[in-house]
Amino acid sequence: MDLDLGLSSATELAAEVAAGRLSSRELLTHYLERVERLNPAVNAVITLDVEAATAAAAAADAAFAAGGPTGPLHGLPLTVKDAIATRGMRSTGGAVELADHVPAEDAPVVDAVRRAGAVVFGKTNLPRWSGDAQAFNTMFGTTNNPWDLARGPGGSSGGASAAVAAGLTSFEIGTDIGGSVRLPSHFAGVCGHKPSFGVVPQLGYLDHTTGGVSEADVNVFGPIARSVADLSLVFDVLAGPTADRSVGWKLDLPAPRQERLADFRVAAWLDDATCPVATDVRVLLEAAVDALVASGASVDRSARPDVALREVWDVGVPLISAATSPARTDEEWDRLQALAAATDTDPTMAMRARASVISHRDWLLLDERRQHLRRRWADFFTRHDVLLCPVAAMPAFPHTQHGSLYSRTLLIDGVERPYADVLAWTSFIGFVHLPATVVPVGLTPDGLPVGIQIVAPFLEDRTSLRFARFVEELTGGYQVPPMARLAG
What is the per-residue pLDDT for 351?
Answer: 84
pLDDT band at 1 (very low <50, low <70, confident <90, very high): confident
Name residue 77's beta-bridge partners: 119
Q: Flag the least confident range among 233-247, 334-348, 350-364, 380-394.
A: 334-348
User: Hey, what amino acid is at 197?
Assistant: F
With beta carbons less than 8 A apart as the criterion, state whether 198 and 210 touch: no
**Number of other CB atoms surrounding residue 108 within 10 Å:** 20
Q: Residue 407: which of 343, 352, 355 has the closest Cα?
A: 352
Alpha-carbon distance 161 to 224, whole Å? Answer: 7
Helices (H), 213-294: 228-238, 279-294
Alpha-carbon distance 389 to 68, whole Å? Answer: 45
With beta carbons less than 8 A apart as the criterion, state whether 89 and 120 touch: yes
Average the pLDDT over 318-324 and give the result: 96
* Catalytic, out of 23, 24, 81, 130: 81
Q: Residue 6: which of 40, 41, 35 has the closest Cα?
A: 35
DSSP state of 22: S
Burial class (CB in 10 A: 0-12, 13-18, 19+), 195: buried
What is the per-residue pLDDT for 14?
Answer: 98
Average the pLDDT over 348-364 and give the result: 91
Burial 36-47 (b: 16+ CB within 10 A, else e): eebbeebbbbbb
Burial 377-397 (b: 16+ CB within 10 A, else e): beebbeebbbbbbbbbbbbbb
Three-state DSSP at 154 gives coil
CA distances for 358 relative to 115, 315, 324, 325, 353, angstroms: 40, 13, 12, 10, 8
What is the per-residue pLDDT for 352?
Answer: 82
The alpha carbons of the chain give a radius of gyration, in whole angstroms, of 21
Q: Residue 433: which of 249, 176, 261, 225 has the closest Cα?
A: 176
Q: Is the pLDDT of residue 488 over 80?
A: no
Query: Percent of the chain at pLDDT above 90?
Result: 95
Q: Residue 90: which of 77, 104, 76, 78 has the closest Cα?
A: 104
User: Hey, what amino acid is at 33?
Assistant: E
CATH 3.90.1300.10 for domain 1-488, yes or no, is: yes
Alpha-carbon distance 272 to 250, whole Å? Answer: 39
| Angle, CA of 399, 403 and 404, to the nearest 5° | 90
Alpha-carbon distance 322 to 217, whole Å? Answer: 9
List pLDDT tens digits, range 392-424: 999 999 999 999 888 899 999 999 999 999 999
What is the per-residue pLDDT for 445?
Answer: 98
* Catalytic, out of 23, 130, 180, 464: 180
Burial class (CB in 10 A: 0-12, 13-18, 19+), 100: exposed
Q: Is residue 156 among the annotated active site residues?
A: yes
What is the per-residue pLDDT for 147?
Answer: 98
Q: Is the pLDDT of residue 160 over 90?
A: yes
Q: Is residue 180 among the annotated active site residues?
A: yes
| Bridge-based pairing state of the strands 265-268 and 298-300 | parallel
Alpha-carbon distance 139 to 142, whole Å? Answer: 9
Total count of residues recorded for the chain: 488
List pLDDT tens digits, range 205-260: 999 999 999 999 999 999 999 999 999 999 999 999 999 999 999 999 999 999 99
Read off φ and ψ for residue 47, nearest 5 degrees.
-140, 135
Read off φ and ψ for residue 77, nearest 5 degrees.
-80, 140
Query: Percent of the chain at pLDDT above 70?
Result: 100
* Catalytic, out of 23, 24, 156, 232: 156
Alpha-carbon distance 103 to 111, whole Å? Answer: 13
